[in-house]
Amino acid sequence: MSGSDEESLAETFWAVARRLRHQTKGALAPWEISPGQARALGVLMRHGALRPGALAEHLRIAPRSATEVVDGLQDRGLVQRRPDPGDRRATLVAPTAEGERVGAAIRAARATEAERFFGVLDPDDRAELTRILRRLREE
């Protein structure tokens, strides 16, 4: 592959990623939640209550950024902070009942959007794309 072919591949990849991100952002519109907040809520639903630092690690963001995300979710009543029973000086962040409801609805909306987005591919192409993307993720 020549350099221009590699650039073309990268440009195509980023164009597809932007389109998927735009479509996903649109799917979040009914809840007026940012993609970062949706990701944080998803992590908390999968892993349960976490310390803010652990949440930041899962999201691969700075702890200060995680605090801002949690503040936004708490302001909306989607998460709550509570003392960590193992260390009363530490705080845990957990989804509220409303956070669980919204998180499940967002997960369903994202699944619908992903199905629509990737639905243009036949099953063999989808399987191959999945295999390729997983390999790249592991590099």
| CATH number for the domain harbouring residue 97 | 1.10.10.10
Q: Are 42 and 55 in contact (CB under 8 A)?
A: no
| Cα dist from 102 to 41, 53, 86, 110, whole Å | 9, 23, 28, 12
Query: Looking at residue 24, what is its pLDDT?
Result: 84
pLDDT band of residue 27 (cuts 50, 70, 90) is confident
- CA dist., res. 81 & res. 66, Å (int): 13
Q: Are 66 and 74 in contact (CB under 8 A)?
A: no
Query: Looking at residue 6, what is its pLDDT?
Result: 64
Residue range 1-13: mean pLDDT, rounded: 72
pLDDT band of residue 5 (cuts 50, 70, 90) is low
Predicted confidence (pLDDT) at residue 130 exceeds the cutoff of 70: yes
Q: How many domains does the structure of the chain reveal?
A: 1
% the chain with pLDDT above 90: 78
pTM assigned to the model: 0.80
Least confident piece of the model among 23-37, 39-53, 81-95, 116-130: 23-37
Domain range holding 107? 3-138
Cα end-to-end distance, the chain, whole Å: 19
- CA dist., res. 116 & res. 101, Å (int): 23
